[in-house]
Amino acid sequence: MGTRLKDLILTPPASLIDRSYRPHIAGARDKEICTFKVSIGSHSPPDNKRYPYKIRVFDDTGDMTLVFFKARSDYLKRVLPEGGKRLISGKVEFYGPTIQMTHPDYILEPAKADELPLYETQYPLTQGLSQKVARKSVMQALDLVPDLPEWLDETMVQQQDWLGFSDSLEHLHKPAHPVDISPTSPIRHRLAYDELLAKQLALALVRESTRKRSGRPLQSAGTYVDDVLGGSPFAPTDAQIRAFVDIKSDMGSRYRMSRLLHGDVGSGKTFVGALACAFAAESQVQTAFMAPTEILARQHAESLKAFLDPACLTVETLTGRDKGRQRQAILSGLKEGYIDVIIGTHALFQEGVDFKDLGLAIIDEQHRFGVHDRLKLMQKGQTPDLLVMTATPIPRTLALTAYGDLDISKLDEKPAGRRPIETRILPLQRMDDVIDAVGRTVASGNQIYWVCPLVEDSDLIDLSSAEERFRELTAHFGTDVGLVHGRLKAEEKDRITQDFKNGGLDILVATTVIEVGVDAPNATVMVIEHAERFGLAQLHQLRGRVGRSDKPSTCLLLYKGPLSVNGKARLEIMRQSDDGFVIAEKDWELRGSGDLLGARQSGLPAYQLADLDKHKALLETAHRDARLIVKRDPGLKTPRGQALRLLLYLFEQDWGIELMHAG
């Protein structure tokens, strides 16, 4: 429960106590919450304080005993006077022939029957807060809610048959039926939509603010782009062409580009990035390409140099490892404009790194960087265009929630010539067969990834560790086995992965550090131990490390049984599909937003009234509505715009208004 009035009213009930069951005493059911109208009979105070105080009550069908521990006699005689009539509500318990109610929840005079709720709301509590105090506080807060102007489109409210915001809150906290607090009820839909619209509107205002502060339209004849396309060893997919058309259109407009490019494993997002770099270079501006790790930066540099070489563009790398004269030469080339494309890590936005004219910033695996990192890089130029890339297909719901301020392009096709990866599901008991298969793969001149969930052995968790598996495979196959995990120093990790990529190692045992970035075309087998412990999106990402050549590839998912129904379904999806977007949506459905928006995605907004698992359709509508509002009324100055300002303040999304003023 919150500490402010609005925190109280925006906290939905967690559950209900149903007090609508009102039988005669003879019809009561054991262990049920019942409400009775009774006559008060005799009081039986205890001789000893250790025993309870008992009061006999009755109606036309039978009698019952009310039980009170550590009770004050004068109080009980006042609220339950002999011969009086009362409404009592609480849990009934049977003890042989005796019907008993211990400490009734409610004792009311019949004239005050309307004070007894049919359905009593229960709220999430913090230490020291009781349900009684929480509920009373919410009810008092409700009385203070003013009449607010309608901020939703009137046609939509009528079509959905929704109540107003204040009336919906009243029904949520004083439900006439248990369905009123259900996430699928019209009342909850209305309130969830308000919250979703507030957050989507704030993101839409951010987008508009970014576009307002945009700079120059970049103009290019397209010669460099044609050179890159002509020199490419493969024909681009339709999805790659569509994505580049979006990017080119954004870069050529007077608005600043803010676009997310997400694609399936192996869908060729780096090539799309290369086309964007070529377009920028021909427009006489530089590109900064930021990657989260040194090995990934160097890998991108290798790919981009090959792609951009036909256009004779200068591509360099800058990481923390670059020192002395080499670093000075790169910094000088950037400042004087000799370098067209610079690829690097966090080193790119450090002090002393200056560009002649930074016009395009590309950020790979955005979730690995903080927002401030992105802003620091953007400050190196005059409102450069921004392209954010991720190799993780994002469920539509998550994309709107996390990246609602960005336009979205997706790569949902794989380049021609990529062979599908055969995926098999095996129990860990068949480890000997797996090791034999690995031996055959090594003998044929191919390489293997072997992924374990833990770095080292644990007494607490019965899982395979990378260190243990490394020792066993080294003993079995000899010295051509490498080990990488998150605890190694960056230089050591890079050295081992580079050695594997160059063919110096047959087997690379790893934790999920290889999920993104290690590209070894000669690797044809991926073994994942305890696959049931990984999310679908992560399994798909790991599987994508193989199958990067024209050789047949295999992914072995090893599990420890017995599998849960959910666990079995997840592994089965991996066996049946290699479409990352299908898998991402299934992952969302099976795991729910609680997991996907947990610690790994801690930068994403939390919701009080909306449930992303149940309100996906509402989120889509809110996204469209928000963008339309900002397009028609960018300053929120119309009567509806003024009401929407209240909505933003209510859900603490008024930072969107601040950005609007700043823009």
Residue ending a domain, choose from 561, 577, 593: 577
pLDDT at 157: 94
pLDDT at 375 over 80: no
pLDDT at 283 over 80: yes
Cβ–Cβ under 8 Å, residues 352 and 331: yes
Using pLDDT thresholds of 50, 70 and 90, give the confidence band for residue 1.
Answer: very low
Give me the count of residues in the chain: 663
Question: What is the secondary structure of 225-259 as a DSSP string?
Answer: HHHHHHH-SSPPPHHHHHHHHHHHHHHHSSSPPEE
Cβ–Cβ under 8 Å, residues 609 and 194: yes
Average pLDDT, the chain: 85
* One domain for residues 507 and 376: no
Question: What is the secondary structure of 122-179 as a DSSP string?
Answer: E----TT--HHHHHHHHHHHHHTPPP----S-HHHHHHHTPPPHHHHHHHHHS-SSGG
Residue 154 lies in a domain: no
In this prediction, residues 641-654 reach a mean pLDDT of: 90
Domain count, the chain: 3
Among 588, 539, 533, 538, residue whose Cα is nearest residue 563: 533
pLDDT at 248: 94
In this prediction, residues 654-663 reach a mean pLDDT of: 56
Cβ–Cβ under 8 Å, residues 452 and 466: yes
In this prediction, residues 606-625 reach a mean pLDDT of: 87
In this prediction, residues 198-213 reach a mean pLDDT of: 81
- Residue 278 CB neighbour total at 10 angstroms: 28
Show the domain range for 519: 421-577
* One domain for residues 501 and 519: yes
Full strand arrangement of the beta sheet holding 341-344:
315-318, 341-344, 286-290, 358-364, 385-390, 258-263, 407-411
Question: CB-side exposure of 275: number of CA atoms within 13 Å?
Answer: 21
Q: Decide which of 2 and 380 is more confident.
A: 380
Using pLDDT thresholds of 50, 70 and 90, give the confidence band for residue 5.
Answer: confident
pLDDT at 11 over 80: yes
Residue 393 lies in a domain: yes
pLDDT at 597: 41
Please state which of the ranges 124-128, 245-249, 384-388 shows the lowest mean pLDDT: 124-128
* One domain for residues 407 and 498: no
Tokens of 168: 């919906």
Terminal CA-to-CA distance of the chain, rounded, Å? 36
In this prediction, residues 609-628 reach a mean pLDDT of: 89
State the Cα–Cα distance between residues 383 and 209, nearest whole angstrom.
12
State the Cα–Cα distance between residues 528 and 18, nearest whole angstrom.
49
pLDDT at 399: 76
* One domain for residues 511 and 558: yes
Cβ–Cβ under 8 Å, residues 482 and 499: yes
pLDDT at 58: 95
* One domain for residues 405 and 464: no
* One domain for residues 298 and 275: yes
485-492, long-range: CB < 8 A, 24+ apart:
485/455, 485/510, 485/511, 485/513, 486/455, 486/511, 486/513, 487/455, 490/293, 490/294, 491/321
pLDDT at 517: 55
Domain harbouring 252, CATH code: 3.40.50.300
- As to burial, measured by CB atoms within 10 angstroms (0-12 exposed, 13-18 middle, 19+ buried), residue 54 is middle
Residue 585 lies in a domain: no
Residue ending a domain, choose from 58, 82, 116: 116
Cβ–Cβ under 8 Å, residues 277 and 366: no
CA distances from 243 to 109, 231, 271, 506 (A): 71, 19, 11, 37
Give the rounded percent of residues in the chain with a pLDDT score beyond 90: 43
Backbone torsion region of residue 592, taken as left when φ is above 0, otherwise alpha when ψ lies between -120 and 50, otherwise beta = left
* One domain for residues 377 and 434: no
pLDDT at 455: 53
Positive/negative CA dihedral, 381, 383, 385, 389: positive
Residue 270 lies in a domain: yes
pLDDT at 93: 94
Helices 565-576, 580-596: axis angle to 10 degrees equals 150
pLDDT at 224: 94
Helices 165-173, 131-143: axis angle to 10 degrees equals 160
Cβ–Cβ under 8 Å, residues 356 and 380: no
Residue 358 lies in a domain: yes
* One domain for residues 448 and 559: yes
* One domain for residues 463 and 386: no
Q: Is beta strand 119-122 parallel, antiparallel or unpaired with respect to 15-18?
A: antiparallel
pLDDT at 412 over 90: no
* One domain for residues 228 and 334: yes
* One domain for residues 401 and 432: no
Residue 246 lies in a domain: yes
Helices 490-501, 294-308: axis angle to 10 degrees equals 40
State the Cα–Cα distance between residues 521 and 225, nearest whole angstrom.
26
- The CA-based diameter of the chain, rounded to the nearest angstrom, is 102
Q: What SS3 state is found at 640?
A: helix
Using pLDDT thresholds of 50, 70 and 90, give the confidence band for residue 218.
Answer: confident
* One domain for residues 314 and 425: no
State the Cα–Cα distance between residues 70 and 80, nearest whole angstrom.
16
Residue 660 lies in a domain: no
Q: What SS3 state is found at 354?
A: coil
Question: What is the secondary structure of 583-595 as a DSSP string?
Answer: HHHHHHHHHHHHH
Residue ending a domain, choose from 411, 444, 467: 411
Among 130, 144, 188, residue whose Cα is nearest residue 13: 188
Residue 404 lies in a domain: yes
Among 509, 528, 519, residue whose Cα is nearest residue 424: 528
Q: Decide which of 353 and 304 is more confident.
A: 304
Question: CB-side exposure of 405: number of CA atoms within 13 Å?
Answer: 20
